[in-house]
Amino acid sequence: MKNRITELFGIEYPVIQGGMVWCSGWRLAAAVSEAGGLGLLGAGSMHPETLLEHIRKMKEATRKPWGINLPLMYPEIDTLIDMIIAEGVKIVFTSAGSPKKYTARFHAAGIKVAHVVSSSKFAAKCEEAGVDAVVAEGFEAGGHNGREETTTMVLIPQVRRATTLPLVAAGGIASGEAMLAAEALGAEGVQCGTVFAMSKESSAADAFKDRCASLQEGDTMLCLKKLAPTRMIKNPLYDEIKTAEDNGADAEALRGILGKAASKRGIFEGDLDRGELEIGQVASAVKEIQTAAQILERMMGEYADARKRILG
């Protein structure tokens, strides 16, 4: 497959692995890149010294293209940017903030920049900021989500009309059929989080992966809107949050319920009761824990079959 996304990032397939906290270490990112997609390190859950270790292990593990997902509201953002440039990273996916402040600096260092948005308004601002591509993420996605609550099927065609940039669809995509649907709506690639969070190479706890594989429709919900809207699995912690929100709890009270490092506790350490279990709606359709290579092979096969079935 060749299109603007594969050419921009130098990859075989227009499939990007989301840079998810506590899931996207060097083993997962390298496995995705080696299989023909674009692997991303998830900097959002890494201290600078940890990210440096993962960058250097990535360099040893693959010579294929790879990148870093960098939340721009990270408290040590300037330190991370200095490190990324010094280490010669070539691709950065930014999120959770405006890319305008940093894009020119990345470009000066020869780095391609994509930015994650949840609305056509911010997609247009990304083009003004000079980024190379935009990722439009719908309401189905796991973890931190856009406040607009716009679904992927509604979002992608509107973003396509709002910008001329190469467009990647994200949110609820874990199959080749969904990939073809995203293409029909105007996307040139897909970013997949949930299915790779559940992969064998993901650094998430096995208990978390097994819980995700057992989910049914409706077992994830968006909550914490007074903090940052977050999709998570229903568990005792979610039930406590939901009750508090229904009773009008403010942001400070919600932080008290979450406690310290709630997502690490749930995703990385496997505390299924008191951890924040972030995952997307499409987890209910993923019933097998596969390697990254198997996921990509399956998705591309499904894509080819669906395209043949529809187009003849």
- As a whole number of angstroms, the distance between CA 186 and CA 169 comes to 9
| Edge-to-edge strands, sheet with 39-42 | 15-17, 189-192, 167-170, 133-137, 112-117, 91-95, 66-71, 39-42
Find the helix or strand (DSSP H, E) in which 113 lies: strand 112-117
The full length of the chain comes to: 312
Average pLDDT, the chain: 97
Q: Per DSSP, what are the bridge partners of residue 168?
A: 135, 189
Helix-then-strand count for the chain, H and E:
14, 11
Q: Could you report the per-residue pLDDT of 115-135, keeping only the tens digit for each? A: 999 999 999 999 999 999 999
**By percentage, how much of the chain surpasses pLDDT 70?**
100
pTM beyond cutoff 0.95: yes
- As a whole number of angstroms, the distance between CA 204 and CA 191 comes to 18
Place 75 in a pLDDT band, splitting at 50, 70 and 90.
Answer: confident
Q: Could you report the per-residue pLDDT of 9-41, keeping only the tens digit for each? A: 999 999 999 999 999 999 999 999 999 999 999
Q: Could you report the per-residue pLDDT of 197-232, keeping only the tens digit for each? A: 999 999 999 999 999 999 999 999 999 999 999 999
- As a whole number of angstroms, the distance between CA 229 and CA 241 comes to 12
Place 85 in a pLDDT band, splitting at 50, 70 and 90.
Answer: very high
- As a whole number of angstroms, the distance between CA 220 and CA 230 comes to 10
**By percentage, how much of the chain surpasses pLDDT 90?**
96
Can you give the pLDDT at residue 39? 98
Can you give the pLDDT at residue 95? 93
Can you give the pLDDT at residue 312? 79
CB–CB of 134/168 below 8 Å?
yes
pLDDT over 90 (residue 272): yes
Can you give the pLDDT at residue 60? 98
Can you give the pLDDT at residue 74? 86
Ranges 143-147, 160-164, 241-245, 305-309: which has the least confidence? 143-147
Q: How far is CA 164 from the centre of its chain?
A: 22
pLDDT over 90 (residue 250): yes
In the DSSP assignment, the letter for residue 171 is: S
Place 159 in a pLDDT band, splitting at 50, 70 and 90.
Answer: very high
C-alpha angle with apex 77: 52 to 265, nearest 5 degrees?
70
Closest CA to 271 of 20, 22, 17, 54: 22
Can you give the pLDDT at residue 290? 98
Closest CA to 189 of 229, 224, 159: 159
CB–CB of 115/99 below 8 Å?
yes
Across 150-157, average pLDDT: 98
pLDDT over 90 (residue 58): yes
Place 1 in a pLDDT band, splitting at 50, 70 and 90.
Answer: confident
pLDDT over 90 (residue 306): yes
CB–CB of 39/33 below 8 Å?
yes
Across 219-246, average pLDDT: 97
